[in-house]
Structure formats: structure tokens, C-alpha cells
């Protein structure tokens, strides 16, 4: 007999034997992850088995409607009782068996079916009897929660949709989820495609939905904007016209971000939330989507029109986390940051979830069109993202072996063009010339020298200006009151940086030979050095302590009032330090035991004479040689006077502890140690620092001016590979310094051109200040593209400028800013960290470092008229200082860990 239920009549069941056979066969199914199985009360199922086995449809063992009452904790919530046991309290039947039994016998009124999922656990596949029960709420009201049950096989996306439905959250509202296990810690649920099991979400936890504010910030990490005038929340400005706070030497990052922010296709991609569906959390080459999300947050805030300036602190932290070179707050290269960011965004948004291995093929004489299409197709099989869509183009690379003439042709993708600047063969150097005239101050000269020249070329250029023979010059780098380095005449000028303080000294030498040895003099006061050091030479026959002392007095004449006043000072009854005494100490002597080397005859720091020593031969002097000519104890017959300073042999750093290998007689070092009272009375430090500017310093330095097209031509010029980067020739079976030429095959929608202003070699680093003139409109690449237009459907080759990253200053003290054209109103703006001002096209000048061009057919004409600057509007309309802070942190319980 069939039973009726309040919800409708059950279908007529088949015969009892057929019922048993069908259900028993279905129960033999294997468990498969994701399938549904149902719980049945064990007593009802046993009674049904007894009923069908009797073979009598009128038997008293008829089970009636399916009744799971004994499995529920109560009939109000219909929660399953805890700790139920399979085959004792319930049995599990597959979905098809359940639906057959339900159609034959119906179910007790209002009882919900106990459907459960099969989950694939790390060690087994099983039916999940007890699903995960979590609490759901919004971050704006943590007290209002609702409980919901989810299978461990369910994706987080199901929880996301459940919260939206229950709390009536709009589908267009951007949101993110947090998983909170305690009252003090929360964790982002970033990947909505992960399962509940994979995220370790367990019963009793709370899932919180956070909805992005209208100003682009998140309630849990909203920066506080400090302004003296209007409240930040009331500000309404043009979207995208927003500064970026300098967090400490982060102008390089701000400049790159402003340029990317004003790249229309990329910014619209993020503003339309297209990135949410393409976040790649499993890419081993990516950053688990974190760089893309952090960048999206910055863009959302900048284009909300609600901020004068944004604090990119979270973004900076994320960058440093994934690229340790950007940790801390040192200055960096804007192009290096841009390169990392484009690569990071690409991998975080790569639509290819599993990259396949692709074996690359050489052209082997095939047509370029065929090889190029194959290369681009292979590239897209592994790399497919908004970055590829927007910024990637294709090179043709041709290598020719110099030995066997093997030609290798490949097509390679690129993300930006790094073009060289024409390099001048000459270089401007500024030096300080120190003559032998003790009354003359150092003179600063500006010289033109060969860029690849040597130190002797610098001396030759200075010789033309001074008339002093080059072989009577010694060139030194002075740093921190000592000689950082004394250059040999055959050293390359590339080892001298523009920022170095270069001093050129005139010294006496033997006619017809170059200087090899000379005396180095330091000014010292106790343990500290001061003033500029001196290089001196004097005839060996005249090298006595007294003569050296007198010579030094003359050399110090421009900065000292000399010994004339000192002679008026009577020495006390006790011998002062540095005075001539009956003990035989001369003006060069010292009671310091560290100066013993200066009084030990031939074993001193002085230069040893080579060959036969002649009285009139001019050789480097030393105190040691002076001591050879002085008796051990000598009494002055003149009136005793107090010396201004004493002298002692030191090492090349000007300290009394001599270094190993410095007593070889090749270069002595002497410190003149000033008596404190004498220094105060007779030495004028300000006077000692003064110098004269030669008229060559008044000649303005003419910067080289080149056209951008010249730089692109250089980029496509044949070059020979460097020894550090040879090419392996498959024919010769060895590495070769092949010739290489790069040709442009296809160009992207947005073309980034990197002007290689910074030159890094093994010996030097320098910045090229060459002025590069570039067009703001109609940059035509048709003459540079190897691939010629085949039909009218192909995009044109003309580009308009949309953004520029600028670099001002030198290598160590540079500053980055940017110009950019707003995609909505077409107005140009100048971005200098948090400061933003209107800009005219003629202001976009020679400091350009990175150029952003967009293809003309993709440029959208402004739909919003640009604002008209007025005299009442402050020029720096985005110049407020900002600071990080938490708004609503009290109600969002440590979610700021993102």
C-alpha cells in the first residue's frame, strides 16, 4: 500500500522485491567527491527492509512515511544530534536511492532532508555528516550574525553569495571576506575558488563581509587625511587628480604609480573590477594576488575623487615583501620598480593557471610572418593577462656567428623599450688646482677631457690652462680631510665620478720623469683631521726637520698668520709639547712613541734614494732623512720659541698606527699636529677652505640634445655581444661574440620607452643629462617596424604621449616626479609626491626618464571638460600632508593586518 503525505501523494511503488533490488544496487555505489548522500533513520530503514523482505504489501511491518525524528536535536531548529553513529543511529544512501524512497513513501511533515556531501579529505573520501557551521555578518555590524552550514567541499564563493543574499548586498558593491577565529585576529579569505576545507574554516568561526567605501578605501584600513581646511570626506575633485604621500625616499615609486594610474586601459580594468575574476592565487611565479590587490586599492582611492592625497603604505609594504631590494627607505630606480610591478601584476592576473612546457624552434629559413605568429601564439599559451593585452609587443632578434656565419632568428616578447642615448666622446670634469705658490689659493677649473681617457689626459688638459707640464702634476681624490685615492697617470678617467673632489697638485720632480714618490701632509688636531691634505716634494739635501717646518709654514701662509706672531710667544720654564728643547727635539719631533718610525734613520717611512745620491738631486723628503742629518742632541742658540705644530710619521689614513706594507719607502705620510692654543690663534679654517674660480667655470655647460627617433635608431643598430654575455653557436658548438640586431616587429597599445640615462660599468656609475626631444603627438613608428602593414584592419603605428616619469639631479641626490594626461578630462597635471598642479604641454621637458605613449586609435576623447584654473584656486590644490591610521578599527578587530 502507498502512503499519502500532506505535501502530495507518493507515486505507486514497484513490487517489494523490485524495491529491494533497486535500492540495494544503488547502495553499492562508490563514494565520489562532490556527490550527495542522504541520512536515513536506522530504525525506519530496518523496518523498511523487513517489510520488503516479507513479500506482503499488507504486512504489519509497513514503515510509513520516512521519519528522521530521532536524528534531530529538536524539531524547531532541526539540528542534527551530536555524535550520531553510522549503522547504529543512521544509514547513508546515495541521492538516487533517496529520491526513489522519497517518491515511494514520502516524508513526515516539515522535516528537511538530511543531504550531505562527499568530501575528498587528505587521507580518505567520506560523506560529511556534520558540515561546517559558521556565523555570517557585515563588518559594519558585527553583532548582527546569522548561522549557516556549508560543506567542506563548498567554495568560499558560496559563502560570499549567502552573505550577499541574506544582508541584501548589491552585486555591484565590491567586497572582501575575513575569517575570524578569535576576538583578536582575522585573516583574509582571498581566493573565493578555494574550498571551505582548504581554507581551514571550521565550525564556530565567523565570516565577515567588508564593503569598499565610496572613496576607494576599506573600512578596516582607511587612512586619515589631515587638513587644515575642509574635511576630507567632503572633498570632491577630478578622479585621478590625486597625490601620493612620500613615505621616505619613495618618490621613485610615486612617479611610476602616477604614470600607470594614467594609463587608461589598465586603470579602467581595475575600476570596473575585471581583476576580481582573474586573480591568480596559485601561480608559483606570482604573489598570490596580493600585489594586484594592493595596486587595486591604490587605484580605487586615487580615482574616487575623494582624496587630495593617498598614503600608499600597504602597497609599499607588499612590494618590499615580495621584492627585498625595495625594503627600507633608500632611493631606487623608477624603471626598476615599474619593471617589477608590471611583471608582478601580470603573474597575479595571468589567465593561464597551469603553464605548459613549450619547446622553442629556430626560424631555420622560414618566413618571418610564420615564425612571428608562432612565437606570439606560444607566448599567449603561457602568458595571458591585461598586462600582455596592454603593454606587450614583439622583437625580432637576429644573431650572426662571426666564425661560421650561422644566422639565428627568434621573435621575443617585450614589455617596454629600453633605448640608449647617444653618448658623447668627451666629458666635462671639474678639478681644484694647487700650485707651488704658497700665497695662492686653490683654483677650480672646468676641463674638457676624453670620456675614455686616462689621468694623464686630465693633466694635459689642465696643463693647457696653467702652463705647468703634465709630468709635474699629481691627481688625488680628497675625502674627509684625507686622500681617498692618489691616481696613477695611466688609470682610466672612468674611475673618477662627477661628485668626487679632485685636487691636482704641482710638485718638484726630476726633469724628464713622472712623479712616483712624494710626501703626504695631513693637518691634525689630537685624533681628528681637518682642512685639505697636501702633496709635497723637496730636494733631499735640504730635507731637515727645521727646513720642513719652515716650508710647511710657507705652504700654510694663506690660512695661517705664521710664525711671526709665534716668535713673540715666550716658552715657559717647562718644555711645551712640540717646542725645541735641550733634549734635542726639533720642530718636527714628537714625544709620541708612535712616531718612532720618523726617527729611525733608514728604516723610516721616507722614500729611499735609488742609485747614487747627489746633493742637488730633487727627491721626495721625509723626516727620517732629516733626522739622519741632525745630531742626537742639538741646542738652539736663538731665543727659544713655541712651535705651532709638531710632526710625526703616520699611515695613509692620517693615524699614528702605521699599516702593514706602508714602510716600503715609496710614499711617506706625515701629520702636522697642531697645538690647541696655536691652532686657535694662528689657523683660520674658513680661509683655508676658500678657493678661486677660473673663468672656465663661468662657461655654461652645453647639454647634448638628441631626438627620440635617434635613440630608437640606436636601439635597432647592429652591435657585438659583450664578453660577459656571449652566444652559444649551435654550429661551432662554442660561445661566440656574435653580432646582434633587434628589430621591432609589432607594438602594443601602450608603449613604454625607457631612456637609459643611468650608465653602470665595472668601474663607474653616471647619469646622462642628454636632452631628449620627443613628440607629444604623432610619434610615428611606421619607419621602425619590420612588419609592414598588410591590410587596413591592422592598427596604425602612430602614438600620443599620455605620461612621463621625470628624474632630476644626480645618482645619489635625485628626485622623481611625473606628468600625466587625465583620461577623463584630457588635462595635463604635474605630480610631485602629494603635490599636484596643472601643467601645460610646453612644461614637459628634458628631465624625462620614462615615456608612456598610447596608440592613437585607442585614445578616448575626453567626455568631461577640463576644469578651468582660476586665480582664487590655490595652485597646489593637492598639497596636504597625510598619515596612516585606522578608521573603525574598534569594530573590525585587527583586520588591519592586511
How far apart (Å, rounded) are the C-alpha atoms in residues 252 and 338? 9
Q: How long a stretch of residues is the chain?
A: 898
How far apart (Å, rounded) are the C-alpha atoms in residues 306 and 215? 5
Sign of CA dihedral 781, 787, 790, 795: negative
How far apart (Å, rounded) are the C-alpha atoms in residues 519 and 600? 17
Q: Cell for 392?
A: 606587450
How far apart (Å, rounded) are the C-alpha atoms in residues 776 and 773? 10
**What is 407-423 written as a DSSP string?**
EEEEEEEESSEEEPPPP
**Comparing C-alpha atoms, which of 621, 607, 605, 622 is closest to residue 656?**
605
Say which of 137, 242, 251, 459 is annotated catalytic. Answer: 251
- Virtual torsion, Cα 361, 366, 371, 372, nearest 10 deg: 150
244 neighbors 257 (Cβ within 8 angstroms) = yes
How far apart (Å, rounded) are the C-alpha atoms in residues 752 and 393? 10
Sign of CA dihedral 371, 374, 378, 380: positive
Active site residue 251: yes
What are the E-state strand segments in 725-863? 727-729, 734-736, 739-746, 750-755, 758-760, 765-767, 771-773, 779-780, 798-808, 815-821, 828-832, 835-838, 848-855
286 neighbors 344 (Cβ within 8 angstroms) = yes
Residue 102 three-state SS: helix
Q: Which residue has the cell 592586511?
A: 898
- What DSSP element (H or E) covers 69? none
How far apart (Å, rounded) are the C-alpha atoms in residues 818 and 802? 11
Rounded to 5 degrees, φ, ψ at 356 are -90, 155
650 neighbors 602 (Cβ within 8 angstroms) = no
340 neighbors 326 (Cβ within 8 angstroms) = yes
- What DSSP element (H or E) covers 648? strand 645-649
Angle between helix axes 313-322 and 251-261 (nearest 10 degrees) is 100
Active site residues: 251, 815
Amino acid at each position: 500500500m502507498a502512503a499519502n503525505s500532506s505535501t502530495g501523494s507518493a507515486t505507486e511503488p514497484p513490487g517489494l522485491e523490485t524495491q529491494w533490488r533497486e535500492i540495494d544496487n544503488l547502495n553499492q555505489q562508490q563514494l565520489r567527491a562532490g556527490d550527495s548522500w542522504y541520512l536515513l533513520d536506522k530504525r525506519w530503514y530496518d523496518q523498511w527492509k523487513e517489510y520488503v523482505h516479507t513479500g506482503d504489501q499488507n504486512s504489519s511491518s509497513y514503515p510509513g512515511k520516512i521519519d528522521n525524528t530521532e536524528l534531530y536535536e529538536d524539531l524547531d531548529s532541526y539540528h542534527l544530534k551530536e555524535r550520531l553513529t553510522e549503522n547504529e543511529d543512521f544509514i547513508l544512501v546515495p541521492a538516487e536511492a533517496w529520491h526513489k524512497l522519497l517518491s515511494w513513501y514520502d516524508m513526515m511533515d516539515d522535516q528537511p532532508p538530511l543531504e550531505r556531501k562527499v568530501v575528498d579529505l587528505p587521507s580518505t573520501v567520506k560523506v560529511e555528516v556534520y558540515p561546517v557551521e559558521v556565523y555570517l555578518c557585515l563588518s559594519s555590524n558585527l553583532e548582527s550574525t546569522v548561522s549557516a552550514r556549508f560543506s567542506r567541499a563548498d567554495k568560499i564563493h558560496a559563502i560570499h553569495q549567502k552573505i550577499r543574499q541574506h544582508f541584501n548586498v548589491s552585486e555591484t558593491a565590491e567586497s572582501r571576506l575575513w575569517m575570524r577565529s578569535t576576538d583578536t585576529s582575522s585573516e583574509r579569505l582571498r581566493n573565493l575558488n578555494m574550498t571551505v576545507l582548504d581554507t581551514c574554516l571550521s565550525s564556530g568561526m565567523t565570516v565577515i563581509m567588508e564593503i569598499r567605501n565610496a572613496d576607494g578605501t576599506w573600512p578596516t584600513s582607511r587612512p586619515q587625511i589631515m587638513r587644515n581646511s575642509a574635511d576630507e570626506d567632503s572633498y570632491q575633485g577630478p578622479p585621478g587628480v590625486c597625490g601620493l604621500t612620500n613615505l621616505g625616499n619613495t618618490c621613485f615609486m610615486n612617479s611610476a604609480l602616477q604614470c600607470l594610474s594614467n594609463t587608461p586601459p589598465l586603470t579602467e580594468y581595475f575600476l570596473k573590477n575585471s581583476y576580481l575574476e582573474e586573480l591568480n592565487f596559485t601561480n608559483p611565479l606570482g604573489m598570490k594576488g596580493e600585489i594586484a590587490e594592493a595596486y587595486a586599492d591604490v587605484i580605487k582611492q586615487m580615482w574616487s575623487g575623494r582624496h587630495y592625497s593617498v598614503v600608499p603604505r600597504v602597497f609599499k609594504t607588499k612590494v618590499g615583501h615580495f621584492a627585498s631590494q625595495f625594503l627600507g627607505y633608500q632611493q631606487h630606480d623608477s624603471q626598476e620598480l615599474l619593471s617589477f610591478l608590471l611583471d608582478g601584476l601580470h603573474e597575479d592576473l595571468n589567465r593561464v593557471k597551469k603553464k605548459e612546457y613549450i619547446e622553442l624552434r629556430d626560424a631555420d629559413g622560414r618566413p618571418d610572418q610564420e615564425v612571428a605568429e608562432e612565437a606570439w601564439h606560444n607566448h599567449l599559451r603561457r602568458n595571458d593577462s591585461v598586462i600582455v593585452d596592454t603593454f606587450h609587443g614583439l622583437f625580432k632578434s637576429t644573431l650572426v656567428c662571426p666564425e661560421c656565419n650561422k644566422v639565428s632568428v627568434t621573435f621575443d616578447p617585450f614589455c617596454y623599450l629600453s633605448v640608449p642615448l647617444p653618448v658623447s666622446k668627451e666629458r666635462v670634469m671639474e678639478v681644484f688646482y694647487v700650485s707651488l705658490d704658497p700665497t695662492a689659493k686653490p683654483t677650480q677649473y672646468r676641463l674638457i677631457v676624453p670620456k675614455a681617457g686616462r689621468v694623464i689626459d686630465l693633466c694635459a688638459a689642465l696643463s693647457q690652462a696653467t702652463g705647468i707640464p703634465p709630468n709635474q702634476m699629481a691627481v688625488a681624490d680628497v675625502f674627509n680631510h684625507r686622500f681617498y685615492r692618489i691616481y696613477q697617470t695611466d688609470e682610466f678617467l672612468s674611475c673618477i665620478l662627477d661628485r668626487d673632489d679632485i685636487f691636482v697638485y704641482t710638485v718638484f720632480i726630476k726633469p724628464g720623469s713622472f712623479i712616483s714618490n712624494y710626501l703626504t701632509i695631513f693637518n691634525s688636531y689630537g685624533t681628528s683631521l681637518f682642512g685639505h691634505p697636501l702633496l709635497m716634494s723637496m730636494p733631499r739635501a735640504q730635507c731637515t726637520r727645521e727646513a720642513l717646518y719652515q716650508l710647511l709654514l710657507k705652504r700654510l701662509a694663506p690660512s695661517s698668520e705664521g710664525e711671526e706672531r709665534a716668535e713673540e710667544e715666550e716658552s715657559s720654564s717647562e718644555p711645551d709639547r712640540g717646542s725645541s728643547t735641550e733634549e734635542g727635539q726639533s720642530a718636527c719631533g714628537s714625544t709620541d712613541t708612535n712616531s718612532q718610525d720618523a726617527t729611525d734613520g733608514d728604516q723610516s717611512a721616507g722614500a729611499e734614494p735609488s742609485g747614487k745620491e747627489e746633493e742637488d738631486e730633487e727627491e721626495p723628503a721625509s723626516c727620517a732623512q732629516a733626522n739622519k742629518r741632525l745630531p742626537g742632541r742639538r741646542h738652539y742658540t736663538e731665543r727659544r720659541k713655541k712651535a705651532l705644530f709638531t710632526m710625526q710619521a703616520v699611515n695613509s689614513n692620517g693615524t699614528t698606527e702605521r699599516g702593514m706594507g706602508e714602510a716600503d719607502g715609496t710614499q711617506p705620510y706625515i701629520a702636522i699636529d697642531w697645538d690647541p692654543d696655536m691652532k686657535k690663534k694662528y689657523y683660520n679654517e674658513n680661509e683655508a677652505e676658500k678657493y678661486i674660480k677660473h673663468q672656465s667655470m663661468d662657461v655654461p655647460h652645453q647639454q647634448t640634445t638628441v631626438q627620440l627617433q635617434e635613440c630608437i635608431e640606436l636601439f635597432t643598430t647592429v652591435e657585438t655581444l659583450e664578453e660577459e654575455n656571449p652566444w652559444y653557436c649551435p654550429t661551432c658548438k662554442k660561445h661566440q661574440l656574435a653580432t646582434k640586431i633587434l628589430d621591432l616587429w609589432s607594438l602594443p597599445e601602450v608603449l613604454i620607452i625607457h631612456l637609459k640615462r643611468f650608465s653602470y660599468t665595472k668601474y663607474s656609475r653616471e647619469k646622462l643629462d642628454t636632452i631628449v626631444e620627443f613628440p607629444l603627438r604623432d610619434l610615428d613608428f611606421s619607419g621602425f617596424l619590420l612588419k609592414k602593414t598588410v591590410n587596413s584592419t591592422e592598427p596604425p603605428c602612430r602614438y600620443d604621449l599620455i605620461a612621463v616619469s621625470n628624474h632630476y639631479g644626480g645618482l645619489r641626490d635625485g628626485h622623481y616626479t611625473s606628468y600625466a594626461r587625465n583620461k577623463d578630462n584630457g588635462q595635463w597635471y604635474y605630480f610631485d609626491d602629494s603635490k599636484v598642479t596643472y601643467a601645460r604641454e610646453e612644461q614637459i621637458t628634458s628631465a624625462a626618464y620614462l615615456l608612456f605613449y598610447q596608440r592613437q586609435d585607442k585614445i578616448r576623447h575626453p567626455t568631461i571638460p577640463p576644469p578651468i584654473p582660476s586665480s582664487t584656486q590655490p595652485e597646489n590644490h593637492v598639497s596636504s600632508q597625510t598619515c596612516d591610521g585606522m578608521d573603525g578599527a574598534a569594530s573590525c578587530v585587527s583586520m588591519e593586518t592586511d
